[in-house]
Amino acid sequence: MKKLVSIVRVDESGIEAAVRKAIDLAGGLKEIITADSRVLVKPNLCWPGPSGTGSITDYRVTEAVTKIVLELGPKSVIIGEGSSAGWDFDSSHSTEEAFRVSGTADVARRLGVELRNLNRDTFEEVTLSEPYVMKKVRIARTAFESDVIISVPVLKTHLRTLVTLSLKNMKGVMPGAEKRKTHRLGLDKAIADLNSVVKPSYVVVDALAGMQGLWEYPQDRFELGLIMAGADPIAVDTAGTCLMGFDATQVMHLQYFAARQGTKADLSQVAVVGESVEANKQSLRSGFDVFKGRYPGVYIVEGESVCTGCIGELLGALQAVKKFGHDHVLTDLTVILGTPSPNEIAARAKTVVLGKCAKNVARFGTYVKGCPPMSDDMIRAICGVSSFDGDSVVASRNQDRQRRWQETRFLLKH
């Protein structure tokens, strides 16, 4: 039987009305939430970004979903998230900042609901009987003990997994170190394993605005003005993938998880109600497409097993060099990462080799150790092969970050 997914356009009635309509059209929550239910509402607050940027779940969608859940009188409701790998580590920013900056902390206060930082939860270790890559997975106890998990992702592309929707959103229930491990093991298979343990019970997608390409604001932000809902995460993610203009066969975690569930991630298996996918389809650009256009002078040799750890740090480093360095640094530059075979590599003058995975080809250029290497070290190496002062780029980048954080804190206080 086809799985139901609703797509609703936000009109003058507002976001809450659109969320209500989307949930109603997709079968409602009454069958799922009872008086005994402990409910976790899980937005995507991967970093401390403001609502409306398209990079995190808009607080207005989280608020509408939480209100609808509360009206059903469950035993308990928690809004929970653990921001990206690295957040909440000593000296990093925290999930609490993501709650505050996004407006989600105010939602919890207004509705009298507990807000929980899942990165600081206690954890339950679960053993998987037939894993793809993760024999054991640690899960925040809050998620583990919830009877109902409502995944509320924002619709956007992703540099490593092509898209990020409800299945990838579940990464927030893992501790930070475990999140990093998924990158090493293979993100798509790890997401499939994770969802075998904590699958969302229902999905409401914030498709008001999203991000494509390299998630640079504002140029990579796009507007859709839609809300999606459905009880089957595979069906919702399939429809969301198609809305972005990609084919579900390109999204490997969706394919792996569907295979595990004995089903298919295929739009022909989805009954879409409300707006149609075809009429609202975008042609979004993947991270690598945008990357190649913005950095035409950088040649990437990307071997197998390369993960978001190295890619994310590299992008941060290249953005800093572009902003605070000199054009000649990013001309005829070769970057090697992952585990390429030495036969794939031609010796070039300006080459940097990044990360533990690429250690066996370190001889081809300036090697930067780490897993992932620090982006400051990448900046120094990239500038160094062009005889440019990398320390000055690092200093300018750090000053700029400091200034932007002071501005953000000022805006939060006033």
Q: How far is the CB of 358 from ligand SF4 (least distance, A)?
A: 7
Please say which residue, 305 or 408, places its beta carbon nearer to ligand SF4. Answer: 305
Q: Which residue in this structure is represented by tokens 């607080």? A: 59
CB 42 within 8 A of CB 307: no
Q: How far is the CB of 187 from ligand SF4 (least distance, A)?
A: 10
Closest residue by Cα to residue 88 from 122, 120, 56: 120
Q: How far is the CB of 214 from ligand SF4 (least distance, A)?
A: 18
Please say which residue, 208 or 307, places its beta carbon nearer to ligand SF4. Answer: 307
Q: Which residue is at the shortest CB distance from ligand SF4?
A: 309
Q: How far is the CB of 314 from ligand SF4 (least distance, A)?
A: 9
Q: How far is the CB of 309 from ligand SF4 (least distance, A)?
A: 3
Closest residue by Cα to residue 204 from 25, 1, 11: 25
Please say which residue, 113 or 368, places its beta carbon nearer to ligand SF4. Answer: 368
Q: How far is the CB of 310 from ligand SF4 (least distance, A)?
A: 3
**Cα dihedral sign, 86-90-93-97:** positive
Please say which residue, 30 or 135, places its beta carbon nearer to ligand SF4. Answer: 135
Question: CA 66 to CA 20: how far, in whole Å?
Answer: 11
Amino acid at position 241, single letter: T
- In total, the chain counts a number of residues equal to 414
Q: How far is the CB of 382 from ligand SF4 (least distance, A)?
A: 16
CA distances from 211 to 98, 164, 193, 208, 219 (A): 17, 10, 26, 11, 9
Please say which residue, 155 or 306, places its beta carbon nearer to ligand SF4. Answer: 306
Please say which residue, 224 or 314, places its beta carbon nearer to ligand SF4. Answer: 314
Please say which residue, 228 or 337, places its beta carbon nearer to ligand SF4. Answer: 337
CB 104 within 8 A of CB 154: no
Q: What is the spatial order of strands in the sheet that 270-274 belongs to?
A: 114-117, 76-81, 38-43, 148-152, 202-211, 221-230, 3-9, 270-274
Q: How far is the CB of 100 from ligand SF4 (least distance, A)?
A: 29
Please say which residue, 224 or 310, places its beta carbon nearer to ligand SF4. Answer: 310
Please say which residue, 120 or 181, places its beta carbon nearer to ligand SF4. Answer: 181
Residues that bind ligand SF4 (CB under 6 A): 183-184, 306-307, 309-310, 337-338, 355-357, 371-372
Question: CA 319 to CA 323: how far, in whole Å?
Answer: 6
Please say which residue, 131 or 355, places its beta carbon nearer to ligand SF4. Answer: 355
Question: CA 256 to CA 167: how far, in whole Å?
Answer: 11
Q: How far is the CB of 84 from ligand SF4 (least distance, A)?
A: 14
Q: How far is the CB of 377 from ligand SF4 (least distance, A)?
A: 13
Q: How far is the CB of 355 from ligand SF4 (least distance, A)?
A: 3
Question: CA 166 to CA 228: how far, in whole Å?
Answer: 11
Please say which residue, 45 or 354, places its beta carbon nearer to ligand SF4. Answer: 354
